[in-house]
Amino acid sequence: MIYPFKLANQIQNSNDFKQVIWSNYLEHSNGITMKEYAAKEMEILSFGIYGVEEYHLKVKEYIIFLERII
Length of the chain: 70
Q: How confident is the model at residue 55 (pLDDT cuts 50, 70, 90)?
A: confident
Q: The domain containing residue 41 runs over which residues?
A: 4-69
What would the pLDDT profile of 16-54 be if each residue is shown by its tens digit? Answer: 999 999 999 999 999 999 999 999 999 988 887 777 677
- Count of domains for the chain: 1
Query: Computed over its alpha carbons, how large is the radius of gyration of the chain?
Result: 11
CA separation for the pair 44, 29 (Å, rounded) = 14
Global pTM reads 0.87
Spell out the SS3 assignment of 4-40: HHHHHHHHHHCCCHHHHHHHHHHHHCCCCCHHHHHHH
